[in-house]
Amino acid sequence: MHNFATSNRNLVDLLHMENSLMSHMNNYAMGLQRKVDMINLVLAEAENREQQANGDPERFLANPVTSLSLFRRMYEDVPKLIDFLKTEMETVNEEEFKEAAADVLPLLIANDLNDEDVASGLLNHMQYGAHLNSLDCLALGNYLWHHLDQGHLAIKWLRLALERYDENLKPLDGLLHSGRIHILQKIIKVQLAIRQISQIE
């Protein structure tokens, strides 16, 4: 796998990888719909069998043909259905993100750049088209706290994550732990930790 964090030449490859991933996700979404359609079909057949049992499964399964069908489904169909629901997607791993953050964040700290300007894509009085969304700010805040012990700076980025929260991404909150409540809990946790450290010192 490429090490995207150590060479600017690989940024184009990373962009291509993201585009490929988006294309894959689009195909994945269509595949999910096909899976849903198939699952609904399986559920409909199961419901039909339940109706045939008519509240008396023992009598229903007393028929050797019916019981054989049950064993066949459990032996052949169920493992296939389980595999059918599985999928794998390749992405940038955690170590590569850490390396990328380690390259960028010390520059921000050393140059005392304004956090909001950086998040808006304004670097050294030059406006870039890219910007950091709530998820980006949250990731940077987490990295600052967990890997660089920069608690106060981490809180700034976590607050930026809260300010830049996008309601359109709300369906992802549970999956990514990126909702308003998650960010607020993180801010409070870091603030309490900073307070405890200051009391010890």
Instruction: Name the band, by pLDDT with cuts 50, 70 and 90, for residue 184.
Output: very high
Q: Does domain 94-200 have CATH number 3.30.70.2860?
A: no
Report pLDDT digits (tens) over 91-137.
556 666 666 666 666 556 655 667 777 777 666 676 665 677 888 88
Query: Which has more confidence, 120 or 157?
Result: 157
For the chain, the average pLDDT equals 76
What is the pLDDT, as a whole number, of residue 187?
94
What is the pLDDT, as a whole number, of residue 55?
76
What is the pLDDT, as a whole number, of residue 186?
93
Rounded mean pLDDT of 31-36? 77
What is the pLDDT, as a whole number, of residue 189?
93
Least confident segment among 21-25, 163-167, 192-196:
21-25
What are the domain boundaries of the chain?
A: 9-84, 94-200
| Residues 96, 3 contacting (CB under 8 angstroms) | yes
pLDDT at 194 over 80: yes
Question: Which of 23, 24, 74 shows the shortest CA–CA distance to 46?
Answer: 74
What is the pLDDT, as a whole number, of residue 74?
74
